[in-house]
Amino acid sequence: MQLAVRALLIALAMALAPAKPGCAQAVDPTDSSLRIYAVHVSGGLYGVYLGQGLIITAAHVVGSANPPVRIAGLDLSGKVVKLSPFEQLDLALLSIDEEKLPVSLRLRRMPLCQRPPFAGEPVTVAIPEGTARSQIVSPLSLPLNARQRFSTAIKDVASTGNSGSGVFDSNRKCLLGIMSRKISVTAAGGGSVKDLAKYFVPASVIRAFIPSEYRL
C-alpha cells in the first residue's frame, strides 16, 4: 500500500514539474493561426493585419487612395495612411474601420519581430487561403548587384505568397517582413529568366516606416 502511494506521489511530482530547457514541443511552422492576420488587398493581392485597424502591405499592391480590403470574410474600404515609392521601400500602411471587425479580431495584435532574420531560418508565409513553409536565403547566394539591396529573401519562389503577404517567425508569432518582389536572373544571351528568391521588406524597415502615432 505504501509503495503504491509513493509511486502515485512520484507520478504527480513528475507531471507537475516544469519542463526542462530544450524539451518543449516543437511548433509546427505552418501554424494556421497566422492566417487570421492575412488579408486581401486590391482584389487578389495581400497584406497583414497588425491590429487597431492597421494593415501593412507592399506599396505596389495599393491601386488607389481607398483600396478594397477583405478581412475575416468582410469587404471593407481601406484608407492609405502612408505610402512609399515602390523603388525605395515598397511599403504601404492602410487603415480600416476597426468597429466593423469581429471582437475576436479587434483584440488581436501582430507584433513586428525585434531581431533580424538569419540565413537558414525556417519561416512561414501566410495568405488567407493557407500557409507555406520556406527558409531565409543567404545574401551570398544572390547576384552581386542584388546582395545589398535585397538582403532579406526567402526561397521556394513558386509555392509561397505573392506581393504584400507576410513572412512570419511562427515560433515567436511575430512578423519578419512583407513580401515585395522576385529576385531573378536572365540567362546569358537574353535567354530564359530564372527566379532565385523572393525579397521581403524586413521588420526593422517596417518599424521605421510606421509613423510614431500609429505604432502599436
- Res 28 pLDDT > 80: no
What pLDDT is recorded for position 147? 83
Beta strands in 84-155 (DSSP E): 92-95, 122-127, 130-135, 153-154
For residue 152, give Cα distances in angstroms to 54, 85, 118: 24, 19, 9
* pLDDT tens-digit series, residues 150-186: 889 999 999 999 999 999 998 899 999 999 999 988 8
Q: Tell me, yes or no, whether 142 and 192 share the same domain.
A: yes
What pLDDT is recorded for position 189? 64
Q: Tell me, yes or no, whether 202 and 131 share the same domain.
A: yes
Q: What percent of the chain has pLDDT over 90?
A: 64
Give phi and psi for 60, each to the nearest 5: -75, -5
- Res 31 pLDDT > 80: no
pTM: 0.82
CATH number of the domain bearing residue 103: 2.40.10.10
Total domains present in the chain: 2
Evaluate whether 208 touches 165 at the Cβ level (below 8 Å).
no
Domain that holds residue 95: 32-108
Considering just the CA atoms, what is the radius of gyration of the chain in Å? 21
The verdict on residue 26 lying in a domain is no
- Picking from 108, 141, 176, the residue at the C-terminal end of a domain is 108
Evaluate whether 42 touches 68 at the Cβ level (below 8 Å).
yes
The verdict on residue 214 lying in a domain is no
* pLDDT tens-digit series, residues 46-98: 999 999 999 999 999 998 889 999 999 999 999 999 999 877 789 999 999 99
The verdict on residue 1 lying in a domain is no
Secondary-structure percent of the chain, ordered helix, strand, coil, rounded to 5: 20, 35, 45
